[in-house]
């Protein structure tokens, strides 16, 4: 509650005798509504709005120097304004002087309101209080903070205070940061609120993480650390694996080198943890792109437990029987050196993407592996292969038939987000080890073929003369009803084929995502679809990616939307609305 040291701003607000007679007097001065309390021989001035939800504090009670708000029983130290209930926030207090029987109050503002809001965000994260998180996010952005600032606080908190390390919360937070460029300004606080609240919930009641120190003699032998890391992951030794990561970062490894180290271990076994490890790794690297490499040590170290505890598809019956996909893949991997060498002189000449996608969606896994190897020989790059596989995985969602069981949406989702993570990883650092992930994703696309039996038809691609803004306006009401899957896909396709503005569509889809209660898989889907769309924009494939996103979102809407109500309260408080009064 400190004020600027350079100046004060005293104004006369009341007669001392009036305050003494009333015990509590409400005064309005400039833009402030103050409650003046006569307590003993002192006059105390506080903002009359309870910082929790705006109830008038003059209707509260003062006893033994504690002011209690009677709406939710928040308690405040009358002299300092400090709260005894962290969910409530401190109430602003104002210095008082008595001059010739008159009460004068200093209205000078806080010295650093952003510092206060940063601390309140930290409080909300520590205690898992969504309303506090929402209010802090809104006020930080209102004060002009870069969204990276609250993101950095959430990232630091999530990597320190969850013993299990990187999980759904930090993934959702990073997805929300990725979505910010697509959103309208009014939706930025909502995205941060969802991401930060997800981190707080993920860390609630969890033990903290403790730092593993690097090896005593820092080494720049990254090849050795990479080999040790893979060996420790292989035998599920989390502590040894973490020390390798920390030593590599402290030894000067950059983001490309660390991506190479991590993705190699993530693809030493087939499709580990149904793709989550690769996706978490990709998201951790994307988070570091936002906040800077100085956070690499705690962020990347937090990934280790997901590596060492992951299920491996070598242990899965579906990958072993009736066709041994593991053996098929191992034979394909043996052909990598020759295929890459053959294609080296033909780089940039491959143009058979559509034909490859059709093979990827087929029913012959050997043909899939052969087609991928043939593409490498024909000059297709690792990144081009990964892009085609990611698109094929998205088509499984775009053509997902609603006669499937509801849980099957997640089967298709896992393949798509894994394929996207591999694709983004190869764009960051092409490597022979990570190339294995492309083949893993392709086999998962093959295994998901039953989700398209029968296949939902892709919306028509013919240009239309429809009013695109009217089409876009139909989406919110459509997603107020359950299972409007095909209808949502149709609207998206008609909008894009009708020359609607893609930026408007992505912004509306982002808003529709944010008004729902958080769903990890839906957030992953939208993030991956938007990322892939950006790489294929202007093609029919790009339209199919947005169709896939809209269909998945429609399948999982509407939710109760209770989380949005919390943020709405935070917005109304920020605007100064009186929540305690009846709404007309």
pLDDT of residue 3: 52
At 11-49, the pLDDT tens digits run 999 999 999 999 999 999 998 999 999 999 999 999 999
Whether the CB-CB separation of 229 and 308 falls below 8 Å is answered with: no
Torsion of the alpha carbons at 124, 128, 132 and 133, rounded to the nearest 10: 80
Query: End of a domain among 203, 237, 254?
Result: 203
User: CB-side exposure of 471: number of CA atoms within 13 Å?
Assistant: 23
Question: Is the confidence at residue 298, as pLDDT, over 80?
Answer: yes
At 46-59, the pLDDT tens digits run 999 999 999 999 99
Query: End of a domain among 203, 218, 253?
Result: 203
The answer to whether position 263 is within a domain reads: no
Give SS3 for 67. Answer: strand
Question: Is the confidence at residue 136, as pLDDT, over 80?
Answer: yes
Q: Domain tally for the chain?
A: 3
- The answer on 120 and 88 residing in a single domain is no
Mention every residue, 6+ apart, whose C-beta is less than 8 A from residue 114. 140, 143, 144, 145
pLDDT of residue 218: 75
Q: Residue 51's domain is classified under what CATH number? A: 2.102.10.10
Kindly state the percentage of the chain with pLDDT values over 90: 92
The region, left, alpha or beta by phi > 0 then psi within -120 to 50, assigned to residue 23 is: left
Beta bridge partners of 102: 15, 99
**CA-based torsion, 537, 543, 544, 548: positive or negative:** positive
Query: End of a domain among 80, 106, 132?
Result: 106
Distances (CA, A) of 348 to 329, 376, 501, 538, 563: 26, 11, 31, 20, 48
Question: Is the confidence at residue 99, as pLDDT, over 60?
Answer: yes
Question: Is the confidence at residue 583, as pLDDT, over 70?
Answer: no
pTM: 0.94
Whether the CB-CB separation of 201 and 171 falls below 8 Å is answered with: no
Beta bridge partners of 27: 34
Distances (CA, A) of 379 to 332, 353, 361: 17, 12, 22
The three-state (H, E, C) secondary structure of 513-548, written as one string = HHHCCCCHHHHHHHHHHHHHHHHHCCCHHHHHHHHH
Dist. CA 203–CA 185, nearest whole Å: 28
Distances (CA, A) of 361 to 10, 282, 332, 367, 511: 74, 25, 18, 11, 32
Dist. CA 568–CA 373, nearest whole Å: 53
Question: Is the confidence at residue 235, as pLDDT, over 70?
Answer: yes
The answer to whether position 575 is within a domain reads: no
Q: Residue 158's domain is classified under what CATH number? A: 1.20.272
At 332-369, the pLDDT tens digits run 999 999 999 999 999 988 999 999 999 999 999 999 99
- The answer on 543 and 476 residing in a single domain is yes
- The answer on 91 and 152 residing in a single domain is no
Q: Per this entry, what is the length of the chain? A: 584
pLDDT band at residue 578 under the 50/70/90 scheme: confident
The answer to whether position 548 is within a domain reads: yes
Mention every residue, 6+ apart, whose C-beta is less than 8 A from residue 223. none
The three-state (H, E, C) secondary structure of 281-336, written as one string = HHHHHHHHHHHCHHHHHHHHHCCHHHHHCCCCHHHCCCCCCCCCHHHHHHHHHHCH
pLDDT of residue 1: 42
- The answer on 560 and 493 residing in a single domain is yes
Question: Is the confidence at residue 2, as pLDDT, over 70?
Answer: no
Range in 29-33, 103-107, 185-189 with the lowest mean pLDDT: 29-33
Q: In 40-187, where do the E strands start and end?
A: 42-47, 61-63, 66-68, 75-77, 93-94, 96-99, 102-106
Question: Is the confidence at residue 5, as pLDDT, over 50?
Answer: no
Mention every residue, 6+ apart, whose C-beta is less than 8 A from residue 65. 39, 77, 78, 79
Dist. CA 483–CA 411, nearest whole Å: 18
Question: Is the confidence at residue 307, as pLDDT, over 90?
Answer: yes
**Domain assignment of residue 79, given as a range:** 10-106
Question: What are the structure tokens assigned to 304, written together?
Answer: 């280790």
Question: Is the confidence at residue 584, as pLDDT, over 70?
Answer: no
- The answer on 83 and 36 residing in a single domain is yes
Distances (CA, A) of 356 to 110, 179, 361: 62, 30, 9
- DSSP characters over 234-262: HTT-HHHHHHHHHHHHHTT--HHHHHHHH
Q: Which of 359, 351, 357 is nearest to 395 (CA)?
A: 357
- The answer on 79 and 126 residing in a single domain is no
Question: Is the confidence at residue 141, as pLDDT, over 90?
Answer: yes
The answer to whether position 180 is within a domain reads: yes
**Residue 61 backbone phi and psi in degrees, to 5:** -130, 140
Question: Is the confidence at residue 284, as pLDDT, over 60?
Answer: yes
Whether the CB-CB separation of 277 and 425 falls below 8 Å is answered with: no
Question: What are the structure tokens assigned to 123, written together?
Answer: 């409080």
Dist. CA 412–CA 429, nearest whole Å: 26
Residue whose structure tokens are 């939706």: 187
Most confident of 465-474, 493-502, 517-526: 517-526
Q: Which of 365, 258, 259 is nearest to 322 (CA)?
A: 365
What number is the average pLDDT over the span 131-141? 96
Whether the CB-CB separation of 555 and 413 falls below 8 Å is answered with: no
pLDDT band at residue 6 under the 50/70/90 scheme: low
- Respond yes or no on whether the N-terminal peptide bond of residue 22 is cis (omega within 30° of 0): no
pLDDT of residue 315: 94
Torsion of the alpha carbons at 152, 153, 156 and 162, rounded to the nearest 10: -130
Question: What are the structure tokens assigned to 38, written together?
Answer: 């006569």
At 403-423, the pLDDT tens digits run 999 999 999 999 999 999 999
- The answer on 98 and 152 residing in a single domain is no
Mention every residue, 6+ apart, whose C-beta is less than 8 A from residue 583. none
Which strand ranges, in their side-by-side order, compose the sheet holding 102-106?
10-15, 102-106, 96-99
Whether the CB-CB separation of 159 and 299 falls below 8 Å is answered with: yes
The answer to whether position 82 is within a domain reads: yes
- The answer on 18 and 96 residing in a single domain is yes
Kindly state the percentage of the chain with pLDDT values over 70: 98
pLDDT of residue 204: 97
- The answer on 148 and 101 residing in a single domain is no
- The answer on 505 and 543 residing in a single domain is yes
**Mean pLDDT across the chain:** 95
pLDDT of residue 415: 98
At 417-448, the pLDDT tens digits run 999 999 999 999 999 999 999 999 999 999 99
The answer to whether position 285 is within a domain reads: no
pLDDT of residue 381: 96
Dist. CA 548–CA 452, nearest whole Å: 13
Question: What are the structure tokens assigned to 581, written together?
Answer: 């009064």
The answer to whether position 71 is within a domain reads: yes
- The answer on 122 and 75 residing in a single domain is no
Range in 159-168, 330-339, 453-462 with the lowest mean pLDDT: 453-462
Question: What are the structure tokens assigned to 402, written together?
Answer: 């609603």
pLDDT of residue 162: 97
The answer to whether position 43 is within a domain reads: yes
**Residue 26 backbone phi and psi in degrees, to 5:** -95, 130
- The answer on 24 and 44 residing in a single domain is yes
pLDDT band at residue 70 under the 50/70/90 scheme: very high
């Amino acid at each position: 509650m400190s004020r600027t040291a350079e100046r004060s701003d005293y104004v006369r607000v009341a007669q001392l005798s009036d305050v003494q007679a009333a015990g509590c007097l409400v005064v309005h001065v400039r833009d402030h509504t103050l409650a003046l309390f006569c307590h003993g021989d002192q006059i105390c001035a506080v903002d009359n709005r309870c910082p929790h939800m705006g109830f008038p504090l003059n209707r509260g009670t003062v006893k033994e120097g504690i002011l209690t708000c009677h709406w939710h029983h928040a308690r405040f130290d009358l002299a300092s304004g400090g709260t005894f209930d962290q969910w409530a926030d401190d109430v602003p207090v104002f210095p008082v002087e008595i001059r010739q029987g008159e009460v004068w109050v200093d209205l000078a503002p806080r010295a650093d309101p952003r510092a206060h809001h940063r601390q309140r965000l930290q409080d909300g994260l520590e205690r898992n209080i969504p309303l506090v998180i929402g209010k802090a996010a809104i006020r930080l952005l209102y004060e002009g903070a870069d969204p990276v600032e609250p993101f950095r606080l959430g990232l630091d908190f999530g990597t320190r205070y969850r013993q299990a390390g990187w999980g759904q919360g930090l993934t959702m937070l990073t997805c929300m940061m990725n979505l910010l460029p697509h959103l309208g300004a009014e939706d930025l606080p909502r995205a941060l609120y969802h991401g930060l609240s997800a981190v707080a919930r993920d860390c609630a009641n969890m033990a903290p993480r403790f730092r593993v120190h690097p090896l005593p003699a820092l080494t720049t032998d990254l090849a050795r650390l990479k080999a040790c890391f893979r060996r420790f992951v292989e035998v599920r030794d989390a502590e040894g694996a973490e020390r390798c990561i920390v030593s590599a970062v402290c030894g000067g490894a950059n983001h490309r080198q660390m991506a190479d180290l991590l993705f190699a271990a993530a693809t030493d076994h087939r499709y580990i943890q149904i793709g989550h490890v690769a996706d978490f790794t990709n998201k951790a690297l994307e988070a570091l792109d936002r906040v800077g490499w100085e956070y690499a040590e705690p962020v990347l170290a937090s990934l280790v437990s997901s590596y060492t505890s992951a299920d491996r598809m070598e242990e899965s019956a579906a990958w072993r029987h009736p066709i041994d996909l593991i053996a098929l893949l191992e034979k394909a991997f043996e052909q990598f050196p020759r295929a890459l060498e053959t294609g080296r002189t033909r780089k940039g000449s491959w143009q058979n993407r559509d034909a490859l996608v059709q093979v990827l969606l087929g029913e012959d896994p050997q043909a899939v592996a052969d087609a991928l190897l043939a593409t490498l020989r024909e000059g297709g790059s690792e990144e081009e292969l990964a892009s085609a596989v990611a698109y094929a995985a998205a088509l499984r969602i775009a053509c997902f038939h609603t006669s499937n069981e509801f849980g099957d949406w997640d089967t298709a989702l896992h393949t798509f987000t894994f394929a996207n993570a591999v694709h983004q990883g190869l764009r960051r650092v092409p490597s022979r080890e990570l190339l294995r992930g492309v083949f893993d994703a392709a086999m998962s696309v093959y295994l998901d073929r039953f989700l398209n039996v029968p296949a939902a038809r892709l919306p028509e691609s013919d240009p239309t003369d429809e009013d695109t803004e009217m089409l876009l306006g139909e989406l919110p009401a459509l997603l107020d009803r359950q299972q409007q899957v095909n209808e949502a896909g149709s609207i998206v396709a008609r909008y894009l084929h009708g020359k609607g503005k893609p930026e408007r569509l992505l912004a509306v889809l982002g808003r529709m995502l944010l008004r729902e209660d958080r769903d990890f898989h839906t957030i992953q889907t939208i993030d991956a679809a938007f990322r892939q769309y950006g790489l294929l924009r202007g093609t029919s494939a790009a339209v199919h990616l947005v169709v896939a996103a809209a269909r998945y979102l429609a399948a999982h809407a509407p939710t109760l939307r209770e989380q949005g109500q919390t943020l709405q309260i935070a917005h109304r408080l920020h605007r100064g609305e009186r929540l305690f009064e009846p709404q007309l």
